[in-house]
Chain A
């Protein structure tokens, strides 16, 4: 496959990110070197090849680290938990962790959950989620910067 083929790749807004039936993330996997990325990119970040194919990643992953965030952001009430997850056959992704009571258990297995436009993670073995998400509440900000 030629690099020029990446010129004709679907616009980013038209590339699927979620497989609702499988309940999993859809990303890119390089047919040449196997490197993965979420969401899919036109060209492989590792080998520079253009034969990047869309694929559904495993639902299972390992929560590598997490943090309980105490400062709210628009659409997110505090506290909320964020984590770094290494998918079993895919890339490292970051997202919300819901239902993890014991942060001391990390690293631990987690399962990805998806809806039409979002994803999050729950501890492996937890019952399938109800789909309820955090309230969309605009909240005040904080003095802590980056």
Chain B
């Protein structure tokens, strides 16, 4: 790698329902926590990539969203790039920040994501979510994200490689991790029976398997290696950053966008899926974790359920997945999610993840997908992070 890029600071505003708080309030808390964690002030930020998906439709702030929230925390007069990539906007901001530092354009860059999905009229939020697809093609069909994941999973139930019980058990695991995460939206332990008995949303998905409407923010300070010395703290560096947009499905089949990005990321890092110690994957519906375990190469195709049943993906397993609770339990404020994943993995690699800390991880993978282009996500980013110091 030409230039080391490190994660110098991370911060979040707790995910959940925050009716009395504005986008500025959410972004203020996440942004300031990331700056404090990095040991810098607002004037230390040289460039910003700001992610938000829905404030145009939901708050009416169609333009310059980043600038409007950043001046609340004293960041102005620097390049601010507003990023929108549906549910993958946060990791897209991160990927751009990595490129900015590698290019030499800046040494210290803030990636920040914020979203406020709770509004008075819920149908507006659903309308906004539906616009993460090509409306010219699919408007009026009633394609909701729950249905998209329902179709992906239904085919696997049909071929017998995933059982309904697995879907419920993954949601139980997701909630169990969320309980341990002070930033999580849903911090309630549930049983498999409760999951299966909860309201049907889109067969085979039930309410307790699905992420929900959420408010929240997350931020990451990235820096050129050495630009912000942090003696006494483990260094987390960016090993790989791979992105793709969606593509038209080949009727004959082929690899997913997540698989293509993961392959590129592994290649960049000179590593493979067997080297990953902890992962945050895009489980907008908890059982999606089973599919992504396969697509990211953690287990052979078709083996996602078996891999999960082995306990490998539990907090104490050999490859814990979504220790934060994932999108389904931590919450999924669309434009902030990708950065929340990267914040979680940074805490995990540093050993600062509290009750949900996994055992001494060295390499972490984040996969964040957004939007839908009739079968494939419209945007995918996969990042690999590495702890450079040995655990002692």
Contacts and interface: CB of A to CB of B under 8 A. Distances in A.
- The majority secondary structure among interface residues of chain B is mixed
Interface in B16-65: none
Given A141-B126, A145-B214, A92 B374 contact: yes
Interface residues of B, number: 50
A142 B122 contact: yes
Chain A contact residues (Cβ within 8 angstroms of B): what range? 35 or more
A10 interface: no
B140 A66 contact: no
Q: Most B CB atoms within 10 A — which of A46, A67, A84, A118?
A: A67
A140 B124 CA distance: 11
A90 B248 CA distance: 12
Given A144-B201, A145-B211, A146-B132, A71 B247 contact: no
Given A67-B202, A71-B202, A146 B137 contact: no
A146 B249 contact: no
A101 B123 CA distance: 29
A71 B141 contact: no
8 contacts: A39-B136, A70-B199, A71-B144, A84-B375, A91-B249, A91-B251, A106-B154, A146-B87
B126 A145 contact: yes
> Which 8 A-B residue pairs are closest in the complex by CB-CB distance?
A146-B145, A67-B150, A65-B155, A141-B123, A76-B142, A145-B213, A68-B203, A92-B249
Most buried by B among A91, A142, A145: A145
A74 interface: yes
Given A37-B248, A65-B152, A142-B126, A82 B284 contact: no
Interface in A66-86: 66-71, 73-76, 80, 82-84, 86
A146 B146 contact: yes
Contacts of B271: none
Interface string B194-218: 0000011111110100111110000
A45 B248 contact: yes
A69 to B, nearest CB: 5
Contacts of A90: 251
Nearest to A140: B123
Contacts of A87: 251
B163 interface: no
Interface of B: 87, 117, 122-123, 125-126, 129-130, 132, 136-138, 140-148, 150-152, 154-155, 158, 199-205, 207, 210-214, 247-251, 284, 332, 334, 374-375
B325 to A, nearest CB: 16
Nearest to B134: A39
A66 B248 contact: no
Given A37-B248, A82-B151, A94 B202 contact: no
A118 B140 CA distance: 9
Contact of A94 (B158, B204, B248, B375): B375
Nearest to A106: B158
Contact of A75 (B137, B140, B199, B207): B140
B142 A69 contact: yes
B206 to A, nearest CB: 9
B154 A145 contact: no
A13 to B, nearest CB: 9
A141 B151 contact: no
